[in-house]
Amino acid sequence: MDVTAQILDTVRRFVDREVIPVASRYEHADEYPHPLVDRMKELGLFGATISPDYGGLGLDYSTYAMIVEELCRGWMSLSGVLNTHLMFAYVLSHHGTQAQRERYLPAMARGEHRAGFCLTEPHAGSDTQAIKTTAVRQGDHYVVNGSKMFITNAQTATVFSLVAKTDPKAEPRHRGISLFAAEKGPGLVVGRHMEKLGYRGIETCEVNFEEYRLPADALIGGEEGIGLKQALSGLEVGRINIAARAVGVARAAFEDAIRYSQERSTFGKAICEHQAIQLKLAEMGTKIEAARLLVRQAANMKDRGERCDLEAGMAKLFASEMCQEVTLEAMRILGGYGYVKEFRVERYYRDAPLMIIGEGTNEIQRLVIARGLLQRYKI
Ligand SMILES: Cc1cc2nc3c(=O)[nH]c(=O)nc-3n(C[C@H](O)[C@H](O)[C@H](O)COP(=O)(O)OP(=O)(O)OC[C@H]3O[C@@H](n4cnc5c(N)ncnc54)[C@H](O)[C@@H]3O)c2cc1C
C-alpha cells in the first residue's frame, strides 16, 4: 500500500470507528468535539497539505479532497476544523515571507497554531471589496479597527488570516486591500457563538478588532495592496474543500438510503424493488460520481499549480446543489425515519445548505464561472 492509500485507509477507519458512533450526539448538543480533533492532530491532518520541510504530510490536493470526503462521510463539521487552517497554510506557503513560513507552518502542522480566516463583515460577504476593516500603518506596526462576521474556528484558532484595507480610498478597490497574519492578543475580541441550522459543534462567531496592533512584519509577503489576490488563491483551496465536503455528505446520505431501501418492505417487497425508489438511487449514485470527478479535476489542476478558479467554482456549484438534492432524496427514501433525530439523514439534510452559501454563494459561483467561460471562448 502506498503512503496515500495508507493515509486514506487510516482516515476511513477513524471515521468508521470513532466519528460515526458519536457525531450525531455532538452535533445535536452543538458541542465542540475536542477528543476527535485531538485524534485528527495525532493523525497529522493539521499538516495534511503542509510541506514535509515544515513537518507536514505534504499531501497533494487530490488526496486532501479524498480525506475531506471521508471525514464528511462521518461528520461535516470536522472538515471545517481543517479548512480555514489549511487555507492559511496555502497562503503562507505561496505568498508568505520565509520568516512567516518558519514562524507558523511547523506549529500549524503539529496543530499547535490553528488558523481561522477573517474576510466576511456584517455588511459585506459576496462584495468582498466593500469591507470596512482598516489597518493603518503607524511606524513599525499597523492599527486595526473593524468587525468580521461568521468566522469559523474563531474560538479555537490562535491566528487568523485577516483581510483589511490599508488604503480605503484606492481605486480600483482591491488595490487597497492587504492580508495579514493576526495572532490573538489585546484588541482582538471574539464575540458570541452563533446558533446554526447545521454545521453544529464548530464555532462561528463575530470577531472584532478594536485598536488591535499588528507588527509590520505580519503583512503577508511584506507587500500591501495584493491581499485580495492572495486571499482568493486560498479560497480556491476552500472551494475544493467545500465541494469535497458535499460529495462526502451526499455519499453518507446515499449509503444510508440504499441500505435502508433493502431493509424496509412495503406491499410485500423491499422498497428497493419498487421502480420509483430505483430511479432515485440511480440518479443519486450517478450525481455523486459526477461531482467527485469535478472535484478531482479541480484538485488535479491545483496540484499542477494551475489557476483553477473556474474548475473549483464548477465543482463547488455542482457538488453543493447535488448534495442538497441527494440528502432530500435520502430523506424521502427513509420516509418518516428520515425526519427524526434517531437517524442520521436529518443531519445530512441540515448540513447541506451551508455548501450552497459558504466560500462564495452559488449565485457568485455562477458569475465567476460565466466570466471564466467568456474569457476562454472569447471571439
Ligand atoms: C456557517 C458559516 C461559516 C462561515 N465561515 C466563514 C469564515 O470562516 N470566514 C469568512 O470570512 N466568512 C465565513 N462565512 C461567510 C460566508 O462566506 C458568507 O456568508 C457568504 O460569502 C455570503 O455572504 P453574505 O452572507 O454576506 O451574503 P450577501 O453577500 O449579502 O448575499 C445575499 C444574497 O445575494 C446574492 N448576491 C449577492 N451579490 C450578488 C450578485 N452580484 N449577483 C447575484 N446575486 C448576488 C447572494 O448570492 C445571496 O443569495 C461563513 C458563513 C457561514 C454561514
Task: Verify that 132 and 211 share a domain, yes or no.
Answer: yes
**Which structural domain, as residue segments, surrounds residue 35?**
3-109
Last residue of a domain, one of 109, 141, 176: 109
Last residue of a domain, one of 94, 109, 124: 109
Task: Verify that 308 and 237 share a domain, yes or no.
Answer: yes
The string of DSSP codes covering 256-293 is HHHHHHHH-EETTEEGGGSHHHHHHHHHHHHHHHHHHH
pLDDT at res. 78: 98
Task: Verify that 155 and 239 share a domain, yes or no.
Answer: no
Closest CA to 180 of 200, 160, 156: 160
State which of 30, 91, 150 you would mutate to test the pocket of ligand 1, scoring each by most atoms of that ligand within 8 A of its C-beta: 150
Task: Verify that 249 and 340 share a domain, yes or no.
Answer: yes
The verdict on whether omega for the bond into residue 353 sits within 30 degrees of 0, i.e. cis, is no
Atom 24 of ligand 1, residue of closest alpha carbon: 125
Q: Measuring from each residue's beta carbon to the nearest atom of ligand 1, which residues come in under 6 Å?
A: 84, 117-120, 125-126, 150-152, 196, 199, 204, 354, 357-361, 363-364
Give CA–CA dist 365/316, Å, rounded: 8
Task: Verify that 94 and 165 share a domain, yes or no.
Answer: no
pLDDT at res. 315: 97
Question: Does residue 146 contact residue 132 with C-beta atoms inside 8 Å?
Answer: yes
pLDDT at res. 2: 84
State which of 91, 120, 230, 245 you would mutate to test the pocket of ligand 1, scoring each by most atoms of that ligand within 8 A of its C-beta: 120
For ligand 1, the distance from its centroid to the CA atom of residue 206, given in whole angstroms, is 14
Atom 48 of ligand 1, residue of closest alpha carbon: 361
Task: Verify that 15 and 83 share a domain, yes or no.
Answer: yes
Give CA–CA dist 376/270, Å, rounded: 50
pLDDT at res. 18: 98
Residue 284 contacts by C-beta under 8 Å, 6 or more apart in sequence?
250, 253, 254, 257, 326, 329, 330
pLDDT at res. 1: 76
The number of domains in the chain is: 3
Which CATH number goes with the domain that contains 186?
Answer: 2.40.110.10
pLDDT at res. 24: 97
Task: Verify that 265 and 369 share a domain, yes or no.
Answer: yes
Low-confidence ranges of the chain (pLDDT < 50): none
Phi, psi of 378 (to 5 degrees): -60, 135
Last residue of a domain, one of 159, 193, 225: 225
Task: Verify that 268 and 343 share a domain, yes or no.
Answer: yes
For the entire predicted model, the pTM comes to 0.97
- List, in sequence order, every residue forming a beta bridge with 152; answer none if it has no partner: 204
Question: Does residue 343 contact residue 331 with C-beta atoms inside 8 Å?
Answer: no
Task: Verify that 294 and 344 share a domain, yes or no.
Answer: yes
Task: Verify that 165 and 237 share a domain, yes or no.
Answer: no
Task: Verify that 238 and 198 share a domain, yes or no.
Answer: no
Task: Verify that 233 and 366 share a domain, yes or no.
Answer: yes
Give CA–CA dist 320/355, Å, rounded: 5
Buried/exposed 90-112: b ≥16 CB within 10 Å, e otherwise: bbbbebbeeebbebbbbbbbbbe
Which CATH number goes with the domain that contains 76?
Answer: 1.10.540.10
Which CATH number goes with the domain that contains 269?
Answer: 1.20.140.10
Instruction: Establish whether 359 is a catalytic residue.
Output: yes
For ligand 1, the distance from its centroid to the CA atom of residue 86, given in whole angstroms, is 20
Give CA–CA dist 91/97, Å, rounded: 10
Task: Centre a 10 Å sphere on the Cβ of residue 198 and count the other Cβ atoms it contains.
Answer: 18
